[in-house]
Amino acid sequence: MAKVIIHAAKKKSRINKNIYGHFSEHLGRCIYNGLYVGEDSKIPNVNGMRTDVVEALKNIKVPVLRWPGGCFADEYHWKDGVGPKGSRKKMINTHWGGVLEDNSFGTHEFLEFCRQVGCEPYINGNVGSGTVREMSEWVEYMTFDGVSPMADWRKENGREAPWKIKYFGVGNENWGCGGNMRPSYYADEYRRYQTYLRNYGGNRIFRIACGPNAADYEWMDTVMSIAGPYMDGISLHYYTVPGKDWENKTSATGFNEELYYRTLYRAAKMEELVTRHSAIMDRYDPEKRIGLMVDEWGTWYDVEPGTNPGFLYQQNTMRDAMVAALTLNIFNAHSDRVQMANIAQMVNVLQAVILTEGEKMILTPTYHVFDLYQHHQDADLLETSIETGKTGLLLGEQVPQLTLSASEDENGVMHITAANLSASEPCPVDCGILERKAGKVSARILTGPMDAHNTFENPKAVDIQDFTGVSVTPNGLDFTLPPCSAVEITVE
């Protein structure tokens, strides 16, 4: 039995909707065939963007999308991706599979995709192999409303009015694929590059510095100390890899219980990472002006047999749904500091919410978790205490059986998201609600064996169902979560 107490009158912090953000890179079949098929495709599209994918993403209210990378960002030269498609430069995507990149999806196409989905663009600039001038001119091209070489070129390329661009990342993983820099060197480079990201007209750039890899606390400390006053956000990347190293990441399906729990145990490290990085940030920014932007997170397994190893295409099971449920609850709990998070990646790559094959599309269990959690976006996090046992096979690799968040939206409706991480045991929950009576209650659930997943042959093997197992008690709510399940409970 887990015991929960929700303080309905104690609002802790606003859950920034961007915590439910996504990431798309020129990698494998994320952009090409995933988001974009081109105007001439027989797959239904609007201006080249897949209609089925756009509609599915609108359904989970994707708030923000990061692009063009990833490691690709520090090899990307944006000028190659604008102008008439026939004359755009072609390049080899050396990072990801050595395939030809024809630049047919560039700035205009990305911003058109965001328009169709209704999300904010988050553009990641090139520090590793780019120049200050190139980055500065990109911002001028997109946002300047007047006469200038870049604004004139944008108009020649068919876009009269400037776009509004808020989120801009200055480099990606500059400690690794983005230039192998040391933190103090990057911090100085960051200060220089960001100087020339101008705010034109009413546009205000939210500057995001490249933050650490996982537990690299020295990187966070150094970059914050040298460049803190010049940034609005700093990134953090952390991937859940259940295998013993990067050469043996293990399979996305067909795993045993030991690997199931190891995956959750490693995903749960996010709590420690966010806590410790936030503590460092607090020393330089006690007012919490600077956001921690976890702009890459998710599971990383071996690629599906027979697929290009550089394409990072993997299946997605109920195990991934549990990772998402756990991780999103961690971000909610830290929403005083975490202002954005971007799951890697949106379609066909790593922990994707959507998989496509030709004209077919399936929604993954992870997609359904984003669906269940969507009402936390821009809601107020409520103070909650949770008493739960641990679950897992090996003593050193256990996780809390119950993970849960509660928030109140602008209409006064309470949303509770919870997951039972046990693969085999149900989780009865006594959920007290203080300072509020539970009125009308409804709930939705996602559940299945840990390895359950959707395929192109059986696209609805895992899907959200109505959940009628929640009872209203004099003190709040009572319910039992089946093994390996995530729920959303709505309390009016």
Residues that bind ligand AHR (CB under 6 A): 25, 69-71, 172-173, 296, 344-345, 350
Give me the residue label for tokens 């959507």: 354
Joined tokens for residue 333: 């709990």
In whole angstroms, what separates CA 185 from the centre of its chain? 28
Give the CA count within 13 Å in the CB-facing half-sphere of 328: 37
Burial annotation 463-490 (CB, 10 A radius, 16+ → b, else e) = ebeebeebeeeeebbebebbbbbbbbbb
Residue number of the CB atom closest to ligand AHR: 70
Residue number, 127 or 484, with CB nearest to ligand AHR? 127
Which of 178, 400 has the CB closer to ligand AHR? 178
**CB nearer ligand AHR, residue 137 or residue 173:** 173
In the complex, least distance from residue 293 CB atom to ligand AHR, rounded to whole angstroms? 13
492 is catalytic: no
> How far is residue 286's CA from residue 420's CA, in Å, rounded to a whole number?
35
8 versus 71: smaller Cβ distance to ligand AHR: 71
101 noted as active-site residue: no
Beta-sheet strand order (sheet of 476-481): 465-466, 441-447, 485-491, 414-420, 402-408, 380-387, 2-14, 427-434, 476-481, 471-473
Q: Smallest Cα–Cα separation from 354: which of 368, 342, 372, 340?
A: 368
The CB-of-473 to ligand AHR minimum distance in angstroms stands at 45
Q: Which of 271, 296, 408, 488 is catalytic?
A: 296
d(CA 222, CA 211): 10
In whole angstroms, the minimum distance from the beta carbon of 25 to ligand AHR comes to 5
The least distance separating ligand AHR from the CB of residue 296, rounded to whole angstroms, comes to: 6
Separation between Cα atoms, residue 352 and residue 332, nearest integer Å: 21
Q: Residue 296 or 408: which CB sits closer to ligand AHR?
A: 296
Are 359 and 300 a contacting pair, CB within 8 Å? Answer: no
The nearer residue to ligand AHR, 93 or 377, going by C-beta atoms, is 93
Peptide bond between residue 401 and the one before it cis (omega within 30 degrees of 0):
no
The nearest distance, CB 42 to ligand AHR, in angstroms, is 30
Annotated catalytic sites, by residue?
173, 296
